[in-house]
Structure 1
């Protein structure tokens, strides 16, 4: 069985099967950045600096597990979809608030 046919999109894009060290680091960086983006768009609140550092530390550590799963499962792809949905939601929310301000 050819393993390259079972890779997720980003794992195949970064050629994890041909160059595992660089490919895994790039996949890890992609998943980490997308996780931070999704967190900031959907869940982040203003917190003291210590709590923010702790949250991001655990987020970064948790991305190692997601990276291991992301080789064969669509983890990064799911994060892209989540980020797009949250971006659309934020844009519509901002537009709705602007329309309320103009009307009121």
Structure 2
């Protein structure tokens, strides 16, 4: 059984099977970036600096587990889809608000 055929898209892109050290770090940084984007677009509220640091610390620790799961499961791909959906939602929300302000 060839393990490279079972890898998720990002794991195959970063060649985790050929270069495990560099590939896993790249996958880890991708997971962190995507999780931060999804968090900021969908869930972030204005918090004091200390609380924000704690949230981001736990977000980064959680990405460690997600990275190991993301080698074979489409975790990063799901985060990309979630980020795209949230971006579309935010754009539409801003357009709606501008339209309501212009209508008044």
2:104 is aligned with 1:68: no
TM-score with structure 2 length normalisation?
1.00
Distance 1:19 1:61 in 2: 23
Q: Where does the alignment leave 5 or more consecutive residues of structure 2 unmatched?
A: none
| Structure 1 runs (4+) greater than 6 angstroms displaced | none
Distance 1:70 1:21 in 2: 15
TM-score with structure 1 length normalisation?
1.00
2:84 is aligned with 1:84: yes
Cα RMSD over matched residues?
A: 0.2
Please state how far the C-alpha of 1:60 moved relative to its aligned partner. Answer: 0.3
Residue matched to 2:20 = 20
SS of residue paired to 1:22: helix
Number of residue equivalences: 104
